[in-house]
Structure 1
Amino acid sequence: MSLLQVENISKSFGGVKAVQSVSFALQPGELLALIGPNGAGKSTTFNMVGGQLAPDSGQVLLNGKNITGLPPRAIWRLGVGRTFQIAQTFASLTVIENVQMALLSADRMIFHWWPRAASHRRDHALALLSQVNMQAQAYRSCSDLAYGDVKRVELAMALAHDPQLLLMDEPTAGMAPGERVALMELTRRIAQERRMGVLFTEHSMDVVFGQADRVAVLVRGKLLAEGTPQTIRDDARVQQAYLGTGLVLEKHDLPSP
């Protein structure tokens, strides 16, 4: 059984068919990149998986359980984490306090945090920060961090409730090339160690072809192609779909097989 099974989901906004009968699956420990030109339906598909949007038809299954149309909070409780294009952290809190806040939420204590947040599961928070190589900066304010480090803190927060599936919305947006690769290499290692599936959208093709196990390509709301990075790299339909979009798919700019 797949960790995530998306079956023929569709979504329209008025007369615009944003997503049309899209299907794909994700296995434990696997990274699946969802890519496509602007307006391809990536965000709509991503948000139907995460519960921000309900599909008009089709279904989303998590470990065989139908989660179609459930609100994001309910999906989160079932073991789905998420990071965002713009990192969602508390700039006024320290690094460890950010993770402790995520742990309080995971423990359903978010409305009781004031008297106990500073001591809540400190060892667990430090262990999560160690996983993302941020333990040494645990007591720095998030407002003082470089953006790449903020993204690592957000990743630690997303791991606080031990998710089976992690949704990453353009995780490397705004990052320098070296930071992009480092973040996704870290994510890949954690996913393999935890047997956690990762579904991510991304515009940086070096990240997609360098880190994803499989790639799904959307064009005009339909699934155009799906397969390994090598298969997608060599697909003439994918090359044609990206011409003129500003996204680079030329072979000399992509990692070698």
Structure 2
Amino acid sequence: MSLLQVTGLNKAFGGVKAVDGVDFTLGKGELLALIGPNGAGKSTTFNLVGGQLAPDSGSVRLAGQEIAGLSPRAIWRRDVGRTFQIAATFASLSVVENVQMALLSADRKVFAFWRRAAGHRRGDALALLERVGMGNQADRPCSALAYGDVKRVELAMALAHGPQLLLMDEPTAGMAPAERLALMALTRALAKERQMGVLFTEHSMDVVFGQADRVLVLVRGRLLAEGTPEAIQRDARVQQAYLGNGQILGRRRQ
């Protein structure tokens, strides 16, 4: 059984169908990229899965359980992690304290936030930071980090409650090419290691075609094509609708 099953998903705004009968699945350990031109409905689809929006109709099932229409927090409690286009960290706290705050939330100790997080599961927080390559910067303030490092901290925070599904909204926005490829290669390794499904939206085609296992292409709210990166790159419909110039850039990982 697939980890995530989306069936007949529909959402309209003022009579305009932003998402029109979208179906897809996502397996454990798989990276699935959701792409399309501006206005294609990818952000709406992404937010329907994450709970920021409720669908007009359709089903979103996670490990066999219906989650469509649940709040983002209720979905998070079902072991779904999320990162954002603009990294969501506490700039005034140290790197390790940011992860400790995420662990406090995972342990349902949200009302302990008024205390310093420094004493809470520091060893577990350090282990997460080591895994994302930030262990040597654990005690630095987040405000002093380069942006690419902030994104790694955010990833560690998203992993704090051991999600079975990770949603990544434009994860490499604002990053240099080498940084974004490194971040998504790390995400790919974590997905395989933890058997965690990853659904991500992305504008950088080098990231999409270099790291995704499969790609979904939306146009005007409908699923135009889905398949391996190689198949999507060769698809004439995608080339015409997505780029309009007969070519999709991007290089597959070796």
TM-score, normalized by length of structure 2? 0.97
2:251 match: secondary structure: coil
Question: Number of matched residues?
Answer: 253
- 2:56 matched to 1:56? yes
Partner of 1:79: 79
Gaps of 5+ in 1: none
Q: Return the letter of the residue paired with 1:18.
A: A
Between the aligned partners of 2:139 and 2:83, the Cα distance in structure 1 is: 22
1:99 corresponds to = 99
| Structure 1 residue 256 displacement after superposition | 5.0
2:162 maps to amino acid: D
Q: What amino acid sits opposite 1:27 in the alignment?
A: G
Q: Is the 8 A contact 1:29 1:191 kept in 2?
A: yes
Question: Is the 1:83–1:169 contact (alpha carbons within 8 Å) kept by the matching residues of 2?
Answer: yes
1:160: how far off? 0.2
Q: In the TM superposition, what is the alpha-carbon distance from 1:17 to its structure 2 partner?
A: 0.6
Report if aligned partners of 1:51, 1:75 keep a CA contact under 8 Å in 2.
Answer: yes
Q: Matches of 1:115 and 1:56 in 2, distance apart? A: 42
Runs of 4+ in 1 over 6 A off after TM superposition: none
Could you say which residue in structure 2 is the equivalent of 1:241? 241
1:224 alignment partner in structure 2: 224
Contact 1:4 1:63 in 2 (8 A): yes
Query: For residue 88 of structure 1, what is the amino acid of its counterpart?
Result: A
Shift of 1:104: 0.3
Q: Does 1:254 align with 2:236?
A: no
Secondary structure (helix, strand or coil) at the match of 1:139 reads coil
Work out the CA distance in 2 between the residues paired with 1:115 and 1:198.
Answer: 33
Q: Find the residue that maps to 2:188 and give its secondary structure.
A: helix
* Counterpart-to-counterpart distance in 1, 2:106 and 2:252: 41
Decide whether the 8 Å contact of 2:26 with 2:197 is kept in 1: yes
Distance 2:175 2:54 in 1: 31
Q: How does 1:16-165 map to 2 (within 5 A)?
A: 16-115=16-115, 117-165=117-165
Provide closer, same or farther for how the CA distance between residues 33 and 256 of structure 1 changes in structure 2, counting only shifts above 3 A. Answer: closer
TM superposition shift of 1:250: 2.4
Structure 2 distance, partners of 1:249, 1:45, is 26
* 1:233/1:249 contact within 8 Å kept: no
Q: Aligned-pair RMSD on alpha carbons?
A: 1.2
**Superposed CA offset, 1:24-68 (max 9, x none):** 000000000000000000000000000000100101000000111
Question: Could you tell me which amino acid in structure 1 is paired with residue 175 of structure 2?
Answer: M
Letter in 2 for 1:95: V
Question: For each residue in 1:99-130, what CA deviation from the matched residue of structure 2 results, as whole angstroms up to 9, or x when unmatched?
Answer: 00000000010111333511100000000001
Query: Tell me, what secondary structure is at the counterpart of 1:100?
Result: helix
2:195 maps to which residue? 195
* C-alpha contact (below 8 Å) 1:205/1:249 kept by paired residues: no
Contact 2:207 2:250 in 1 (8 A): no
Amino acid at match of 1:57: S
Secondary structure at 1:87 match in 2:
coil
Q: Secondary structure at the match of 2:215?
A: strand
Q: In the alignment, what sits opposite 2:6? A: 6
Structure 2, unmatched stretches of 5+, are none
The residue type equivalent to 1:121 in the other structure is R
Residue 254 of structure 1: how far off its partner (Å): 2.1
Assess, with a 3 A threshold, how the Cα gap between structure 1 residues 249 and 142 changes in structure 2: closer, same or farther: farther
Per-residue deviation, residues 81-100 of structure 1 (Å, max 9, x unmatched): 00000000000000000000
AA in 2 matched with 1:208: V
- Mapped partners of 1:249, 1:159: distance in 2: 39
Q: Distance in 2 between matches of 1:218 and 1:6?
A: 14
